[in-house]
Amino acid sequence: MKSKTEFYQSYFEALQKKGFTVQPSTSPDYVADIYHKDKLIAFFTKNDLVMKNPFVEVQDKLIDRVQTLAKTTAVACGICSDKPFDEATAAKLPNNLYKINEHNGVVLACKQHPLFEYVLCTYRNDENKNPIQRQYFYNKDAAFESFATRSGLIDEKRLFSETDLKIIHAGLVKMRTIDSDLTQDDLNSVERLVDKIEDIIPELQKKDKALDFSWLFNSMERGIERE
């Protein structure tokens, strides 16, 4: 899922197919009003939650259908369902936010969401330590790539020095080969970063080792000398 707009379109279409009606909300507090048989039964909030209309009588099972459809639609859109951080190592920030990494003033953070599971973002802090220039991601690979680019690990407009990139490359290769805790998604992200650095510095690309036959020649020479 690239944006919430993608989810909204899929979710509201799914509701319509199930017999519900979705209308733009008459309240600035909500994204949409959800009707069933011309009765306003629920609101979809700006926090991406289904809220039952407290002013009408609505069966709980009807609200459950609306909520379940929201969850299944979100999963189908490709949200991040696997926790992308370790609570033991990630720094806890205010508002239940976890900092996964920070480099060159750019932060990669994540927060669990009741509908979208794990929402990631990259941002900078201003002089008062307030987040600015936030970009949100619902896909872990996209978030990690954004962090690598925005933090300067790999920036199409401004690259690290060749020495820095070689150091980063060595670390990524080591991570790829010995870190058994990485998930397949993590390995895919690391692989993409390695490929980008190798595009910049072709000499880092893995080359087939030339076969060394010196030991054989030495043995032959010794054998000849003994004859």
Cα pseudo-dihedral 176, 178, 184, 186, rounded to 10:
-50
pLDDT per position as a tens digit, 37-87: 999 999 999 989 999 999 999 999 999 999 999 999 999 999 998 898 888
Which domains are delineated in the chain? 4-77 (3.30.310), 91-204 (no CATH)
Burial (CB count within 10 angstroms: exposed 0-12, middle 13-18, buried 19+), residue 176:
middle
- The reported pTM is 0.63
CA gyration radius, the chain: 26
CA separation for the pair 41, 56 (Å, rounded): 7
Angular region, 210: left φ>0, alpha ψ -120 to 50, beta rest: beta
The pLDDT tens digits of the residues spanning 116-139 come to 999 999 999 888 888 888 999 998
